[in-house]
Amino acid sequence: MTLRQPCPPGACVCNREQLLQAPGADLRILQLTRQQEKILLARLENLKSLQDLEHLQQRMYEQLGIRVHIAPGHTEVKSMRGIQIVIDELPGMCRKTRQSIPASIRRGLEKNPEIAYRLLDAHDLFRDV
C-alpha cells in the first residue's frame, strides 16, 4: 500500500503521524497520493451531471473516508460562492487537500451551471417560482 508523502514540517496540521500511530485507525485518506489527488481534482472540475457529482461524493467516502456535503447556503444563492461545500473533519487529510476539493467542485459547477441548478432544485429552492 502506497501512502502519501508527509507534508513539510510545520506546513500542515493533518496529524499524519498521530494517525499512523493510532491502533485501528482508518488510514484510507493516506492512500490519496499527490498524483491521485491531481486526478481527483481534475475529475471534480469536469463534472458531467448532479448524478456524477453524487457518485464522486460516494466514491470519495468509500475509498478515502472523505465526507463532502454540498448544499445551498443559508442566504440567497447568487453565484457558486453561495453553495456551501463542507468536508467533515478527517485526521490525516492535508490542509491543501481540504481546500482544493471544494475549489475544484466550484470550478466544476461554474463550468457546468446546469449541475448547480439541479442541486438547487434538489433542495427545493425553486418551489415558489
Express each pLDDT in 93-125 by its tens digit: 999 999 999 999 999 999 999 998 888 877 665
Q: Are 101 and 66 in contact (CB under 8 A)?
A: yes
- Please state the three-class secondary structure of 72-124 as a single string: ECCCCCCCHHHEEEEECCCCCCCHHHHHHHHHHHHHHHHHCHHHHHHHHHHCC
Q: Are 31 and 4 in contact (CB under 8 A)?
A: yes
Q: What is the pTM of this model?
A: 0.86
- pLDDT, one tens digit per residue, over 25-82 is 999 999 999 999 999 999 999 999 999 999 999 999 999 999 999 987 766 555 556 7
Reading the block at residue 72, the C-alpha cell is 445551498
Q: Are 113 and 29 in contact (CB under 8 A)?
A: no
The domain locations on the chain are 16-126
User: How far, in Å, CA of 51 to CA of 55, rounded?
Assistant: 6
For residue 54, give the 3-state DSSP assignment. helix
